[in-house]
Amino acid sequence: MADARVFYEQQLADWEEHGDEYVVQCEADEAAAQDAEPGADFGCDQMGAPQLEHFVTPTPTFVGDEQAWPAPGMTTVAQLAPLLTLFAVLVGVSFLTAEISTGALGLWLTFEPRRQRVYWSKALAATLGVLPVVVLAYVVMAGGAYGAYALNGRLGDFSPATWGELAAIGGRVAVAAALVAATGAALGALLKHAAAALGLAVGWFVVVESVVAAWAPEAQRWLVRTNLAAWTEGGTTYWVNECTTDATGTLCESVEHAVSQAQGGLLLLGLAAVLSLLAVLVFRRRDVA
Amino acid sequence: MHSTTEVPAIETRALRKTYRSRRGRAVGVEGLDLVVPVGGVHGFLGPNGSGKTTTIRMLLGLVRADSGSARVFGHEVPRHLPDVVGRVGAIVESPKFFPAFSARKNLDLLAVAIGAPGGRVGEVLEEVGLAARARDRYRGYSLGMKQRLAIAATLLKDPDLLIFDEPTNGLDPAGIREIRDTMRGLADRGRTVLVSSHILAEVEQVADTVSIIARGRLIASGRVDDLIGAGGRSVRVGVPDQERAAAVLAAAGHGVRRDGRHLLVDGVAEPARITRALAAHDLWVDELVPVQAGLESVFLELTAKDAAAGSRHDRRQRPEEVTA
C-alpha cells in the first residue's frame, strides 16, 4: 500500500505538471492517425488525473465477478479443488499395485477365483475409499477459504444459495475423484507396478497434455485436464490463436472456445470405463505371480 | 485304502505350461500326469525349478496352462474352479496378515470377507494349536506359528483339500515339526493334504503317497513304502582295499558307490554273495551292513536318471529351457 501511494503521488505530480501537454499531444497524434484511418480514437477525452485506486490491487471478495482479477475466493476454490484428484489417482493405483506386489491378490484369488469379481471389488474399494478423504479435504479447503474471507469482512454477495453452489462443486469434485480413482486402479492393474502407473499418469498430465496444448491448441478440447476443469467448474474455456490472411496481411486473434460440463463428465466417465474394461480383460487372462 | 473308482482329489493330464523368457520359451511343466488320491498326505516332490509351484498355481487358477487338463474333485479347473474352490484351501505365498492385529482379529476379518461363520475362527485356531495364543499380536509370532496361522486361514472354509507350497521354507527344526504334525493331524481328520517340498526327509515322515517330478515331468508316483521298496536294498561294505573290491564287485554285476571309507553296493538280494565274490579274490570283509534306501536316495536316483536322460535328449535336439 505504501508503494502504491508513492507511485500514485509521483504520477499525480507528473500529471499536474504535464497533464495538459499529454492531452494536447494525444489529440495531435489522434488527428494524424485519422488521416490514414478515419475514425481512429485514442481516447484522449478519457485522460484525467490518476486515481489512488488505480494503483492498489483490488481485494477480492469470496463471491463476486468470476472474470475479475484477482478471482473471487469461490472461483479459486473451484479451480484448485480438481487438484484433489491427484490424491485419487495415487490411491487408485496403490490399491491394485500394493496387492499385486505383496502377493495378497494371489491369496485372494485362492478364495475367490472369479477374477472379474475380484477386480471390480478392488476397483470399487479404491473408488469408494477416496471419497471420505477427498470430501473432507474439500470441506477444509472451502470452509477455510470462507472463514478467511468472513474474518476480513469480504464475503461479497454471499447468500444461502452460495452454500448450495459450494456443495455442488464439492459433489462434482467427489465424482471426479471417484472416476479418477477407478482410472488409477485400471492403470495399476494394467501396469502392475505403482511407479510405472503413476509415472504414466503424471507423465501424461505434465508432458503429453502440455505438449499437445502447445503444439495443437485446438486439441485442448479433448485433454483430461480441460475436461476435468469443465466438470468441476461447471464448464470451462480454452483459447486458440486463429489467424486469417488477406491482401493486407495476416491477422491473428485469440478465440475462446467453451467446453461444457456435460462433455467434461462424459469424457472422465468414458476414460474410466474404457481403461477399466481393458484392465478386466487383461486381468482375466494374466498369470498371477 | 481308497477305492480305485473314487474320483481323485487332483488329477492332471498332459498338463503343459511354458513361459516367455529372454531366450525364447521356457518350459515350466511338460505333459504332467498327476493323480492325488482322496485322503492322506501326498508329497509333491522335485528339485527347485522342477515345476511344483507352477503346477499348484495352475490347479488354483492363478496360472493358465498352455494345454492339457486339470481336475479337482472331478471339476475341470480353472473353468469350474468356482464350483469347487470352497473345498480347497491353499497357501501359495508366505502368510499375509496385519502385524499389529492378533491372530484372532486377522482371522475374524478374513472370515467376514469370505463369509465364513463367526464360530469357525475359534475352531480353526484350535485345530492348528494356536487357541492359547490367539490374542497375541501377529508380529510376535514365530515363523512356525505364522505358518500355522496361514493354515488356519485356509481352514476357515472347512476345505476337503489343502494345498501347501513349500510350507516349511525358512522354518527352524521346531517349526518344521509343528507344521508336519499339523499336516498329519489334518489328514488324520479326513482331509487331503498336498504338500510340495524339496526337503525329502520332511515329506518322508508325514506323506502317505508321493509324486516326484523333475524338469516339469512326473518321474515316479505311488505310496512312499512302495517307492522306497522299489529302490532296493543296499549293503555297506567295509574292506581294506576299496579300489580292488569295487572293481571285483562291479565285474560281478553289482552297482557300487563310494561312501567315505565304505562301499555302497546297490540292489543286493543276498549279502553273502558279496562276501563270496570278494573272498574269491582274497579280499576280506570287515563290515557288512544292510542299508534300507530312504526316500531321499530314491529321489536322488530318479532325478539323477532323469537329468542324465535329459542331457542325452538335449544333445540330440535343441534344448528347451527349464525354468528355475
- Looking at the structure, do residues B114 and B243 belong to the same domain, yes or no? no
- Looking at the structure, do residues B164 and B260 belong to the same domain, yes or no? no
Contact B288, B271 (CB under 8 A): yes
User: Mind listing the pLDDT tens digit for each residue in B251-300?
Assistant: 888 878 887 888 888 767 778 888 998 999 999 998 888 776 666 667 77
Which residues of chain B are within 8 Å of residue A106 when distances are taken between CB atoms? 62, 92-93
- At residue B323, what is the residue type? T
Look-up of cell digits 502504491: A4
Rounded to whole angstroms, the Cα distance separating B186 from B160 reads 10
> According to the model, what pLDDT value does residue B3 have?
45
**Helix intervals (H) in chain A:** 2-36, 73-80, 84-102, 104-111, 115-151, 160-191, 194-203, 209-215, 224-233, 261-285
Contact of A114 with chain B, judged by CB distance below 8 Å, is answered with yes
What CATH number does residue B286 fall under? Answer: 3.30.70
- Taking an 8 Å cut-off on Cβ atoms, the answer to whether B93 and A103 are in contact is yes
pLDDT-wise least confident of A10-14, A107-111, B81-85, B132-136: A107-111
The pTM is what? 0.75
Asked if residue B260 belongs to a domain, the reply is yes
Contact A248, A233 (CB under 8 A): no
Asked if residue B37 belongs to a domain, the reply is yes
Contact B195, B183 (CB under 8 A): yes
Choose among A107, A113, A287: nearest Cβ to B96.
Answer: A107
Q: From chain B, which residues contact A within 8 Å (Cβ)? A: 57, 60-64, 78, 81-82, 85, 88-90, 92-94, 96, 113-114, 154, 157
What CATH number does residue B26 fall under? Answer: 3.40.50.300
Asked if residue B99 belongs to a domain, the reply is yes
Asked if residue B74 belongs to a domain, the reply is yes
- Looking at the structure, do residues B115 and B139 belong to the same domain, yes or no? yes
Contact of A109 with chain B, judged by CB distance below 8 Å, is answered with yes
- Taking an 8 Å cut-off on Cβ atoms, the answer to whether A288 and B57 are in contact is yes
Rounded to whole angstroms, the Cα distance separating B256 from B234 reads 9
Report percent pLDDT > 70 for chain B: 86
Output the average pLDDT for chain B: 84
- Taking an 8 Å cut-off on Cβ atoms, the answer to whether A110 and B60 are in contact is yes
Rounded to whole angstroms, the Cα distance separating A225 from A232 reads 11
Dihedral sign for Cα atoms in the order B78, B82, B86, B92: positive
Considering only CA atoms, which of B70, B51, B54 is closest in space to residue B62?
B54
Contact of A125 with chain B, judged by CB distance below 8 Å, is answered with no
User: CB atoms < 10 A from the CB of B75, how many?
Assistant: 18
B154/B306: higher pLDDT: B154
Choose among B62, B64, B89: nearest Cβ to A109.
Answer: B62
Q: Mutation target for B interface from A100, A108, A109: give the one with most B CBs within 10 A.
A: A109
**pLDDT at A58 exceeding the cut of 90:** no
A280/A154: higher pLDDT: A280
- Looking at the structure, do residues B99 and B246 belong to the same domain, yes or no? no
Cα of first residue to Cα of last residue in chain B, in angstroms, is 36
> According to the model, what pLDDT value does residue B2 have?
45
User: Mind listing the pLDDT tens digit for each residue in A20-51?
Assistant: 999 999 999 988 888 877 778 888 888 888 88
Look-up of cell digits 470405463: A273
Rounded to whole angstroms, the Cα distance separating A258 from B173 reads 72
**pLDDT at B1 exceeding the cut of 70:** no
Asked if residue B192 belongs to a domain, the reply is yes
- Looking at the structure, do residues B163 and B284 belong to the same domain, yes or no? no
Domain locations in chain A as residue ranges:
2-55, 73-215+267-285
ipTM value, please give it: 0.73
- Taking an 8 Å cut-off on Cβ atoms, the answer to whether A111 and B61 are in contact is no
Contact A154, A62 (CB under 8 A): yes
Look-up of cell digits 478515419: A38
Cβ pairs bridging A and B (under 8 Å) = 43
- Taking an 8 Å cut-off on Cβ atoms, the answer to whether B93 and A114 are in contact is no
Report percent pLDDT > 90 for chain B: 40
Rounded to whole angstroms, the Cα distance separating B59 from B71 reads 8
- Looking at the structure, do residues B57 and B161 belong to the same domain, yes or no? yes
3-state secondary structure of A114: coil
Reduce the secondary structure of chain B to three states and give it as a string: CCCCCCCCCEEEEEEEEEEEECCEEEEEEEEEEEEECCCEEEEEECCCCCCHHHHHHHHCCCCCCCEEEEEECCEEECCCHHHHHHHEEEECCCCCCCCCCEHHHHHHHHHHHHCCCCCHHHHHHHHCCCHHHCCCEHHHCCHHHHHHHHHHHHHCCCCCEEEEECCCCCCCHHHHHHHHHHHHHHHHCCCEEEEEECCHHHHHHHCCEEEEEECCEEEEEEEHHHHHHHCCEEEEEECCCHHHHHHHHHHCCCEEEEECCEEEEECCCCHHHHHHHHHCCCCCCCEEEEEECCHHHHHHHHHHHHHHHHHHHHHHCCCCEECC
Rounded to whole angstroms, the Cα distance separating B26 from B22 reads 9
Minimal CA separation from B266 to chain A, in Å: 43
Q: Mutation target for B interface from A102, A108, A110, A122: give the one with most B CBs within 10 A.
A: A110
Contact B172, B144 (CB under 8 A): yes
> According to the model, what pLDDT value does residue B26 have?
84
> According to the model, what pLDDT value does residue A188 have?
96
Give the cell for residue A47: 485522460
Strands lying side by side in the sheet with B233-238: B255-259, B262-266, B233-238, B287-292
Contact of A288 with chain B, judged by CB distance below 8 Å, is answered with yes
Report percent pLDDT > 70 for chain A: 98
- Looking at the structure, do residues B14 and B130 belong to the same domain, yes or no? yes
Rounded to whole angstroms, the Cα distance separating B127 from B189 reads 10
> According to the model, what pLDDT value does residue B254 have?
80
Asked if residue B318 belongs to a domain, the reply is no
> According to the model, what pLDDT value does residue A200 have?
95
Domain of residue B199, residue span: 10-225
Minimal CA separation from A196 to chain B, in Å: 21
**pLDDT at B232 exceeding the cut of 80:** no
Which residues of chain A are within 8 Å of residue B114 when distances are taken between CB atoms? 111-112
Give the cell for residue B295: 526316500
- Say how many domains are in chain B: 2
Q: What values do phi and psi take at B235, rounded to 5? A: -130, 130
- Looking at the structure, do residues B149 and B287 belong to the same domain, yes or no? no
- Looking at the structure, do residues B178 and B262 belong to the same domain, yes or no? no
Per-residue pLDDT, averaged over A120-124, amounts to 95
Rounded to whole angstroms, the Cα distance separating A11 from A253 reads 33
Chain B residue whose CA is closest to A289: B62
Contact B288, B274 (CB under 8 A): yes
> According to the model, what pLDDT value does residue A68 have?
67
- Looking at the structure, do residues B150 and B195 belong to the same domain, yes or no? yes
Chain B residue whose CA is closest to A111: B85
- Looking at the structure, do residues B143 and B248 belong to the same domain, yes or no? no
Choose among A104, A113, A285: nearest Cβ to B81.
Answer: A113
**pLDDT at A187 exceeding the cut of 90:** yes
Which residues of chain B are within 8 Å of residue A102 when distances are taken between CB atoms? 96
- Looking at the structure, do residues B118 and B155 belong to the same domain, yes or no? yes
User: Mind listing the pLDDT tens digit for each residue in A234-250?
Assistant: 999 999 988 888 877 78
Choose among A103, A104, A114: nearest Cβ to B82.
Answer: A114
pLDDT band (50, 70, 90) for residue B15 = very high
